[in-house]
Amino acid sequence: MPQLSTGKKKIIFIAGPTAVGKSEVAASLAKRLNAEIVSCDSMQVYRGMDILSSKPSASLRKKIAHHLLSILPASREYNVSRFVREARSRIKKIIAKGKTPLVAGGTGLYLSILLDGIFRLKTENKRLRMKLEKEGQKRGSLYLYSRLKRCDPRAASRIHPNDARRIIRALEVFLVTGKRISELQKERKGLFQEYDARIFCLNMERAKLYSRINSRVDGMFRKGLVSEVKRLLKEELSKTAKFAIGIREIRGYLEGLYDLDEAKRLIKHNTCLYAKRQLTWFRKDKRIEWIEVGDKESPASVGNRILKRLD
């Protein structure tokens, strides 16, 4: 087993697109590094979303301690601020036990804010945000984007013109604080500054990854995905939970808009698009160390390659 370096405490991050095998690789590493796993997944926090969010299996969770899984009902909102607060708390407790925190998941925004910190200034204004959202619905995201280009061109260069949520957030920050979000981001302090953080992103040849996604979705239906979504739809889902891929697609099937095969096709298609967005996000971070995974490669083999880099 490799010896972890002295000095700053080490934290290992395992990121990557959906279905690439993060959970299994993280578990393999955790066994050999005396680590506990902190989930970095915006949907796995919800109870009742086991199939939908592809949570680590119950047997895996019995072998390795996992944190931030199934911590609240799907009717409750969850956001990056709460995630960072709770993840940092778990990480400190893991280190206090003499173990290594291993953060695993594919929610890029959560990973980024955990690594680099969140604004210390009060930047939220719900009334202003609602006003900007209504303006965007009426005049389009390109109109809001043109406003952002005028007040914070650096931030605008990093945001897609159709990404209304991030455009509105950047405008909100500027209008509330009078400061550009691109400047405030430089002042943030996160785990990357406090710990010896190593960030590994798993990747796979695109066609192989999409094949894995399709196989996973087929398996989700066999495990009872439709029944799980039926149960979830009986309650008022939070805005966050409604974004889970599979909710809208299964709802359309249940409402008779199309058959089950079409629902399955839509989930596969939308999951592949999501994987593509995940990879685009992670490629922006130059600190990431990329690990190309073979289609038939075992989690233990991938873990061994990561361990060698930690030497």
The mean pLDDT values, 10 residues at a time, for the chain of 311 residues are 59 98 96 96 97 94 96 95 95 96 96 83 79 92 93 89 88 87 73 93 97 98 98 94 96 98 98 96 94 95 96 78
On whether residue 20 sits in a domain, the answer given is: yes
Judge if 36 and 172 occupy the same domain: no
pLDDT of residue 3: 40
pLDDT of residue 149: 94
pTM of the model: 0.79
On whether residue 1 sits in a domain, the answer given is: no
On whether residue 2 sits in a domain, the answer given is: no
On whether residue 57 sits in a domain, the answer given is: yes
On whether residue 210 sits in a domain, the answer given is: yes
Judge if 177 and 205 occupy the same domain: no
Q: Which amino acid is at 268?
A: K
Judge if 242 and 211 occupy the same domain: yes
Judge if 107 and 222 occupy the same domain: yes
Count of domains for the chain: 2
On whether residue 4 sits in a domain, the answer given is: no
Own/partner long-range contacts of 41-45 (Cβ < 8 Å, ≥24 apart)? 41/68, 41/105, 41/106, 41/107, 41/110, 42/78, 42/83, 42/107, 42/110, 42/240, 42/243, 43/241, 43/243, 43/244, 44/68, 44/69, 44/70, 44/105, 45/69, 45/70, 45/71, 45/72, 45/78, 45/83
Rounded distance between C-alpha atoms, residue 134 and residue 195, angstroms: 41
On whether residue 3 sits in a domain, the answer given is: no
Judge if 85 and 163 occupy the same domain: no
On whether residue 133 sits in a domain, the answer given is: yes
Segment holding 201, helix H or strand E: strand 196-203
Judge if 183 and 272 occupy the same domain: no
Rounded distance between C-alpha atoms, residue 195 and residue 261, angstroms: 47
pLDDT of residue 50: 97
Own/partner long-range contacts of 109-113 (Cβ < 8 Å, ≥24 apart)? 109/80, 109/281, 110/40, 110/41, 110/42, 110/80, 110/83, 110/84, 111/13, 111/15, 111/40, 112/281, 112/285, 113/80, 113/83, 113/84, 113/190
C-beta of residue 135 within 8 angstroms of C-beta of residue 143: yes
Domain with residue 220: its CATH number is 3.40.50.300
Judge if 165 and 281 occupy the same domain: no
Judge if 19 and 68 occupy the same domain: yes
Judge if 29 and 114 occupy the same domain: yes
Domain that holds residue 156: 126-187
Judge if 181 and 306 occupy the same domain: no
Domain end among 149, 172, 187: 187
Domain end among 187, 206, 239: 187
Judge if 212 and 159 occupy the same domain: no
Judge if 36 and 162 occupy the same domain: no
Domain end among 144, 164, 187: 187
The vertex-106 CA angle with 100 and 111, nearest 5°, equals 60
